[in-house]
């Protein structure tokens, strides 16, 4: 996709005015999407993203340019634009080192590439989820199902001699059901996906099961009373419960904030920042997982990175440029949405590791509190870790027993405080798929955890 001779010429052009380091990221991505709404297929779209971004360092500053003209002339013009922005007093000019082509092992086996699967088969996935959701109750008033897939080829090379290629294949479906009573609506949704081809829907995800679970959750929340507010113990279930760690703590462990000392965890390596029962990991090496890669978007091999071990802060997630700012090595965490974004440190598959506690015991010994089965969206301040998350499916716990479902609940707190308040960590860790937005655009990430218990937490409610 990118001739090595052309790549060397482009890197030299980017360095021609005195830059210290230059990098090329080229991609060619084919994507498809379908939407089924009101019992019919409303949209069938396909698209292609093709282009290259060129980055130049001058000290600890970076210049980024990009183009969708990937001819030799187009790339050279893009590199020259980056070079024009370089302001340096250096007299010597750096040139690109000879390439050492990296032999990267592909750990993500794809059985059926999305381009091999028929559109009819993709539509059948949505029809199965739609039918199952509607069959749960006459109160289901609307169901929207979507399907998406992509195949992305990338070439990443830089002036230090790196030259690497990678292919990334993703598939996902989503289902949202709305239950209506005539006076009120309640929605539930799910969006399973993986770094897999169409075999995702044959081997791992049952679309009908997804639709049924979403429909049942929407109806259950429609008839639930509103949640009371107060400070209480909270048990957060596995899978998407991990979004609290991702948002309230994970972003504060990215070099994007740590390198500029705007993270609550900056300068705390080796210190206890969580309860001793908490170990947290960011792992890009799990085969076929939604947040995995073979290499990151800077060409670094992906890693399994222990962030917190038994409550002690062990590592940050570090990209190439912020690693220079911090005087630390990159961790394979440089990611970007596409070629129009410069990379920065981002999460991959981020989760609280399994512990040794019984799910039944953590509920039976909690007294009165809230069981948060599924979390929704929210907001967080990375500098302080303060967050507010909606509980999409919650239940009151009375005398250690799960009782009535409740709606309208939210979890409020500060990341550094909450992870110190965790006193139970279950054994069964599950993951859920999402899309994370930050400085380098939106990237695919997994969140995960076993069931955990927070001893004391502020619950917002309408009762």
208 to 81, 126, 136, 174, 213: CA distances (angstroms): 52, 9, 11, 12, 9
Task: Say yes or no to pLDDT of 390 above 80.
Answer: yes
Instruction: Assign 20 to helix, strand or coil.
Output: coil
Task: Say yes or no to pLDDT of 18 above 90.
Answer: yes
Cβ neighbours for 50, distance < 8 A, ≥ 6 positions apart: 27, 28, 29, 68, 70
pLDDT of residue 454: 96
Mean pLDDT of 146-169: 97
| Cα separation of the two ends of the chain | 60
Task: Say yes or no to pLDDT of 463 above 80.
Answer: no
Mean pLDDT of 162-186: 95
- Asked: is 114-151+168-222 a CATH 3.30.2290.10 domain? The reply is yes
pLDDT (tens digit, 9 = 90+) per residue, 257-288?
999 999 989 999 999 999 999 999 999 999 99
pTM (two decimals): 0.94
Cβ neighbours for 421, distance < 8 A, ≥ 6 positions apart: 275, 454, 455, 456, 457
Cβ neighbours for 378, distance < 8 A, ≥ 6 positions apart: 243, 247, 387, 388, 389, 390, 410, 411
Task: Say yes or no to pLDDT of 89 above 80.
Answer: no
Question: Torsions phi, psi of 296, nearest 5?
Answer: -80, -175
Report how far residue 324's alpha carbon sits from residue 331's, in angstroms, rounded to the nearest whole number: 12
* Degrees to nearest 5, angle at CA 22 with 20 and 28: 170
Give me the chain's average pLDDT, please. Answer: 95
293 touches 348 (CB < 8 A) = yes
Residue 109 or residue 93, greater confidence: 109
Kindly indicate the confidence band of residue 36, based on its pLDDT and cuts at 50, 70 and 90. very high
42 to 36, 39, 118, 141: CA distances (angstroms): 6, 9, 17, 17
Q: Name the maximum alpha-carbon separation found in the chain.
A: 76
pLDDT of residue 287: 97
Task: Say yes or no to pLDDT of 163 above 90.
Answer: yes
Kind plus residue range of the DSSP H or E element containing 171? strand 162-180
Report how far residue 150's alpha carbon sits from residue 200's, in angstroms, rounded to the nearest whole number: 13
165 touches 157 (CB < 8 A) = no
Kindly indicate the confidence band of residue 3, based on its pLDDT and cuts at 50, 70 and 90. very high
Kindly indicate the confidence band of residue 28, based on its pLDDT and cuts at 50, 70 and 90. very high
Task: Name beta bridge partners: 338.
Answer: none
Mean pLDDT of 225-229: 94
Query: What b/e sequence results for 412-445 when a residue is b if at least 16 CB atoms lie within 10 Å of its CB, and e otherwise?
Result: bbbbbebbbbbbbbbeebbbbbbebebebbebbb
Mean pLDDT of 296-303: 97
Question: Torsions phi, psi of 147, nearest 5?
Answer: -130, 140
Kindly indicate the confidence band of residue 188, based on its pLDDT and cuts at 50, 70 and 90. very high
Q: Which range, of 20-24, 135-139, 232-236, 374-378, averages the lowest pLDDT?
A: 374-378
% of the chain exceeding 70 in pLDDT:
99
pLDDT of residue 362: 96
Kindly indicate the confidence band of residue 430, based on its pLDDT and cuts at 50, 70 and 90. very high
pLDDT of residue 380: 78
Task: Say yes or no to pLDDT of 41 above 90.
Answer: yes
Task: Say yes or no to pLDDT of 382 above 90.
Answer: no
Task: Say yes or no to pLDDT of 377 above 80.
Answer: no
Report how far residue 404's alpha carbon sits from residue 388's, in angstroms, rounded to the nearest whole number: 23
425 touches 450 (CB < 8 A) = yes
pLDDT (tens digit, 9 = 90+) per residue, 65-84?
999 999 999 999 999 999 99
Q: Where are the alpha helices (DSSP H) in 303-432?
A: 320-326, 359-364, 415-421
Q: In terms of DSSP bridges, do strands 369-381 and 230-236 run parallel, antiparallel, or are they unpaired?
A: parallel
Domain boundaries in the chain?
4-32+44-101, 114-151+168-222, 230-460
pLDDT of residue 303: 96
Q: Which range, of 130-144, 155-169, 233-247, 321-335, averages the lowest pLDDT?
A: 233-247
């Amino acid at each position: 996709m990118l001739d090595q001779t052309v790549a060397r010429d482009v890197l030299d052009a980017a360095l021609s005015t005195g830059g210290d380091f230059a990098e090329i990221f080229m991609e060619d991505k084919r994507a498809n999407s379908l939407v089924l709404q009101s019992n019919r297929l409303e949209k069938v779209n396909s698209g292609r993203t093709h282009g290259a971004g060129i980055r130049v360092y001058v000290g600890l500053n970076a210049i980024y340019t990009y183009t969708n003209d990937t001819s030799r002339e187009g790339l050279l013009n893009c590199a020259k634009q980056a070079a024009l922005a370089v302001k340096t007093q250096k007299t010597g000019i750096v040139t690109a080192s000879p390439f050492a082509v990296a032999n990267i092992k592909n750990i993500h086996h794809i059985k059926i590439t999305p381009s091999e699967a028929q559109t009819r088969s993709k539509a059948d996935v949505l029809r199965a989820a739609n039918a199952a959701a509607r069959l749960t109750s006459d109160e289901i008033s609307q169901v929207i199902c979507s399907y998406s897939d992509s195949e992305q080829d990338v070439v990443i090379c830089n002036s230090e001699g790196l030259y690497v290629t990678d292919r990334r294949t993703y598939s996902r479906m989503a289902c949202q059901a709305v239950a209506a009573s005539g006076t009120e609506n309640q929605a539930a949704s799910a969006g399973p996906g993986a770094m897999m081809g169409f075999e995702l829907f044959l081997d791992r995800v049952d679309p009908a099961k997804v639709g049924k679970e979403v429909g049942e959750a929407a109806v259950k929340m429609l008839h639930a009373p509103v949640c009371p507010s107060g400070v209480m113990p909270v048990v957060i279930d596995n899978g998407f419960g991990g979004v609290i760690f991702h948002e309230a703590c994970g972003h504060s462990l990215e070099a994007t904030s740590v390198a500029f000392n705007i993270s609550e965890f900056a300068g705390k390596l080796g210190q206890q920042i969580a309860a001793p029962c908490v170990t947290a990991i960011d792992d890009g090496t799990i085969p076929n997982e939604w947040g995995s890669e073979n290499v990151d978007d800077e060409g670094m091999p992906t890693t399994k990175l222990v962030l917190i071990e038994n409550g002690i802060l062990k590592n940050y997630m570090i990209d190439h440029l912020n690693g220079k700012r911090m005087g630390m090595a990159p961790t394979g965490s440089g990611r970007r949405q596409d070629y129009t974004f410069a990379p920065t440190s981002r999460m991959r598959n981020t989760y609280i590791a399994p512990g040794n506690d019984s799910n039944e015991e953590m509920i039976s010994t909690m007294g009165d509190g809230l069981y948060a089965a599924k979390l929704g969206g929210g907001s967080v301040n990375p500098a302080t870790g303060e967050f507010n998350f909606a509980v999409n499916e919650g239940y009151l716990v009375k005398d250690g027993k799960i009782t009535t479902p409740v709606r309208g609940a939210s979890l409020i707190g500060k990341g550094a405080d909450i992870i110190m308040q965790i006193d139970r960590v279950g054994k069964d860790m599950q993951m859920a798929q999402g899309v994370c937005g930050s400085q380098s655009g939106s990237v695919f990430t997994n969140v995960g955890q076993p069931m955990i218990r927070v001893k004391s937490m502020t619950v917002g409610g309408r009762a």
